[in-house]
Amino acid sequence: MPLHKGPHEAEPDRRLALNPFYGEANPVGGMTDAPPRHRLPEGPLPPMSAYQLVHDELMLDGNSRLNLATFVTTWMEPQAGVLMAECRDKNMIDKDEYPRTAELERRCVAMLANLWHAPDPSTAVGCSTTGSSEACMLAGMALKRRWAKKNADRYPAGARPNLVMGINVQVCWEKFCTFWEVEPRLVPMEGDRFHLDPQSAAELCDENTIGVVAVLGSTFDGSYEPVAEICAALDALQERTGLDIPVHVDGASGAMVAPFVDEDLVWDFRLPRVSSINTSGHKYGLVYPGVGWALWRSPAELPEELVFRVNYLGGDMPTFALNFSRPGAQVVAQYYTFLRLGREGYRAVQQTTRDVARGIAERIEAMGDFRLLTRGDQLPVFAFTTASDVTRFDVFDVSRRLRERGWLVPAYTFPANREDLSVLRVVCRNGFSADLAGLLIEDMNLLLPELRSQSGPAIGDKKAATSFHH
C-alpha cells in the first residue's frame, strides 16, 4: 500500500473549506474553488488563505502541552522563539558565512564538556546534531572505527563487530547496527530488572565488541542504568582477559538532568572507561526540536579520518555530522538557554519537574488501581501498570479514555523477556505544571468509576490496542 494515498473521488463541498472572511478583499471572490490536496495547484493563493487552510487542518493534532508521551520540549520563553525566528534562515554548516553561530556551537560544546567533567574541557571534541539519534550514530561510528583500526588484521576478513546494550535502548541503536553492519547484542529484561545490568553486559563482550552502551534514563520507565557499575564490571573483565571495552553513555535525557539534581552520581567522563556521551538539547536541554549533542572525552577517542574540517574566522572548525544543511536556530536557542538559566536555573527547573513527577506518581498509587514500576525519582518519568486484582480494565483502556479528554498517555507492552507486562508512562517536562498535573489526576478520578464498571478490557489484542511504539 502506498505511504501517502489520497482520495480519488470528487469532493464538491471543498469549495466551502475556507472561511470567506479570510479573502483578501471581496469575501466571495476567488472562493469558487479549493486547491487540490495531492498535487500542486495551478496557481497561487493569497497568503492568508493558504495559512488558514493549513492552520485549520493542524487543529486536529493533539495538544503538545498535554502530550505526556514525548520527551521533546513543548514550551520555551517568547524571547527564545524570537531568536529562533531570527536565525532559522542561517545554515548551520556554513561556518565561514555565519561565524558567530559557529562560535555559539563551540561554546555549547565547551559548556557540556565542563558539565560532564571532561579531563580537559578545552580539548574535548564535540558537535551539534539534529538530535540524539544522529549523535548516537556518530558515537557508534567512532566506536566501530577505533575497533577496526585495532583489529585491522582480522577485519573485515572474518571478524564481525558487535555492540552490547540492553533491549530497552532507543530504536536509533538498532538502526545504527543495521546501517553500519554491527551485530546487536541485546540483554533482555528479567523480572523487575528493566534495563542493562553490569554482569550481563560483561558476559556478552568478546574480542569483537566495539563498545557497551549505557543509557542514562531509559525511555521505557525513566530509570538510570548503573553506568559506574557497568564500567567496574568491564574493568574486571579487562583484568581477567585483557579486553579493553569502551563505554558510550546515551544520555539523551539524563545527561541534562543528573548533573543538576543528582550531582553525587558518577556516570560521566569522571569514569575513564566512558569514551563518549550524547544528549538531546531538545529534551531536558529545554530547547524546541531538533538539536542534539555528541561529545568525546578527548581527540584520541574520535578517529581523525572521521573529522571534516571547515575554515572559519581564519581558524579550523572540526565537523563530524551526518546531516549537512540545517538551521542554526536550535543551536542559538541552546546557547540562549544555557546563558539564561545557568546551573542554578537548570537545577530549579529539573528539580521542579521531578517533584511534579513524583507527586503524580504518589497520587496515582493512592488510587489503589495501579502499581508503580518507577516513581519519577531519576528521570522525571514514571511507568505504572494495573494492580494484580484489577480485571475489568487494562492500561490500554486508561490510555484510550484519557485521550478523549485531550491527554496523550502512551500504553505499551515491554520487550523480551517481559512481553507479559503492559504499562502506562508519564513524561513530565518543563511547562507541565503542578496545576496541569492536578487536572490529569482529576480526569483519571472521573474515568475510574466507568472503567471499574466494565465487564472486561475493551480490546483483547494488546498489539492492536497500542498506538505507541518505542
Q: What is the pLDDT of residues 185-215, one digit of tens each?
A: 999 999 999 999 999 999 999 999 999 999 9
- Stretch 71-80: mean pLDDT, rounded? 96
pLDDT of residue 470: 46
- Stretch 272-282: mean pLDDT, rounded? 98
Whether the Cβ atoms of residue 49 and residue 34 lie closer than 8 Å to each other:
no
- Give one DSSP letter per residue of 227-254, joined into a string: HHHHHHHHHHHHHHH-----EEEE-TTG
- Stretch 13-33: mean pLDDT, rounded? 57
- Stretch 389-418: mean pLDDT, rounded? 96
- Stretch 152-175: mean pLDDT, rounded? 93
- Residue 7 vs residue 229, higher pLDDT: 229
φ, ψ for residue 165 (rounded to 5)?
A: -165, 165
- Stretch 390-403: mean pLDDT, rounded? 96
pLDDT of residue 460: 65
From residue 418, alpha-carbon distances to 168, 210, 462 in Å are 11, 27, 14
pLDDT of residue 318: 67
Cell triple for 148: 577496526
From residue 132, alpha-carbon distances to 127, 140, 365 in Å are 12, 12, 32
Residue 458, pLDDT > 80, answer yes
φ, ψ for residue 372 (rounded to 5)?
A: -80, 135
Q: In a 3-state reduction of DSSP, which class is residue 337?
A: helix
Residue 384, pLDDT > 50, answer yes
pLDDT of residue 14: 60
pLDDT of residue 36: 85
pLDDT of residue 157: 80
Q: In a 3-state reduction of DSSP, which class is residue 107?
A: helix
Closest of 312, 264, 318, 256 to residue 284, by C-alpha: 256
Contacts of 265 (CB under 8 A, 6+ apart): 224, 258
Residue 51, pLDDT > 70, answer yes
Whether the Cβ atoms of residue 468 and residue 412 lie closer than 8 Å to each other:
yes
- Residue 325 vs residue 283, higher pLDDT: 283
Write down the mean pLDDT value for the chain. Answer: 90
| Total number of residues shown for the chain | 470
pLDDT of residue 74: 95
Residue 465, pLDDT > 80, answer no
Q: Which of 269-278, 301-310, 456-465 has the highest average model confidence (pLDDT)?
A: 269-278
Closest of 246, 239, 253 to residue 269, by C-alpha: 246
Closest of 72, 67, 74 to residue 426, by C-alpha: 67
